[in-house]
Amino acid sequence: MSHFGRTGPPDIADTYSLLVLNITFRTSADDLFPLFDKYGKVVDIFIPRDRRTGESRGFAFVRYKYAEEAQKAVDRLDGRVVDGREMAVQFAKYGPNAERIHQGRIIEKVPGFKGSSRSRSPRRRYRDDYHRDREYRRSRSRSVDRYERDRYRQRERVYRHRSRSRSLSPDYDRDRGRGRDRKHHRRSPSVDSASPSRRSPSPHRKESPPRSLSPTKGSPVRRVRNERSPTPRSRSPPGRAMDSRSPSPRVDEVISRALV
């Protein structure tokens, strides 16, 4: 019984939910279960994951059967370092359907009977969640920096493109300083022929052998996971595949070829 949350919430009636924050992105329910089960009867553990990547979002929900045990878990596990990161354990404030709960327990009366307590409003939960999730992570998350950086990169690309288009005359571009280097290099072509290593577009080459490490590299010092990634299908998430472009070397090549 280690797969929590796989078949949905078993019985959220008379359970006390704890919100576990600041856990590692690699921490799974199996890792949290032994920690929380020591302080009481854990009914369910659920770790929300990203819709696109399927990775953990960094927090989890642990449901206890009794409030005193949940309180004890909060008192004992709040601030506990798990996987090198200090996690924060506190009582959940909202239920699975955004109901207000008190001390982790759902206050609102469930119209359904045993088991079907969530059949109150299972309508909205498809595209809205996708959009909301994306906006969620874009609002205040580390993705903001990434998106800003991408935007900056795109703007830089556009700027370069515009500059190149604007300077149709090579004299203009040459007088800006870039042509001077070219002219200087053109004046001494022996440099290009004599030092081919300088022409290397990436002087930061590591020159590391392709496969030099022995297969016995895996040391069991880390956690061994039997089934950590059951569905590794999506190797390349859509949306970031178009960002991997390198327009700079291409433009340089074009200019170099045009000058020669």
- Residues in contact with DNA by CB under 7 A are 5-9, 12, 17, 19, 21-25, 44, 46, 48, 55, 57-59, 61, 63, 85, 90-96, 98, 101, 122, 125, 129, 137, 140-143, 145-146
CA distance 31 to 92: 20
Cα–Cα nearest to 117, from 138, 101, 140, 137: 101
Nearer to DNA, 152 or 159 (CB): 152
Minimum CB separation of residue 7 from DNA in Å reads: 5
Minimum CB separation of residue 13 from DNA in Å reads: 12
CA distance 127 to 151: 25
Minimum CB separation of residue 38 from DNA in Å reads: 19
Nearer to DNA, 111 or 196 (CB): 111
What tokens were used for 23?
């856990």
Packed helices 247-259 and 142-166: angle between N→C axes, nearest 10 degrees:
20
Minimum CB separation of residue 96 from DNA in Å reads: 3
Rounded-to-10 torsion of CA 93, 98, 102, 106: -140
Minimum CB separation of residue 24 from DNA in Å reads: 4
Minimum CB separation of residue 240 from DNA in Å reads: 7
What tokens were used for 220?
């069991």
CA distance 203 to 16: 58
**What is the identity of the amino acid at 236?**
S
Nearer to DNA, 98 or 260 (CB): 98
Other beta carbons less than 10 A from residue 6's beta carbon: 9
Nearer to DNA, 193 or 212 (CB): 212
Check: CB of residue 231 under 8 Å from CB of residue 54.
Answer: yes
Give how far the C-alpha of residue 24 lies from the chain's centroid of Cα atoms, to the nearest Å. 12
Nearer to DNA, 7 or 169 (CB): 7
What tokens were used for 238?
């859509």
Minimum CB separation of residue 189 from DNA in Å reads: 37
Nearer to DNA, 146 or 160 (CB): 146
Nearer to DNA, 66 or 91 (CB): 91
Q: Are strands 85-86 and 60-64 parallel, antiparallel or unpaired?
A: unpaired
Q: Which residues contact 34 (CB under 8 A, 6 or more apart)?
A: none
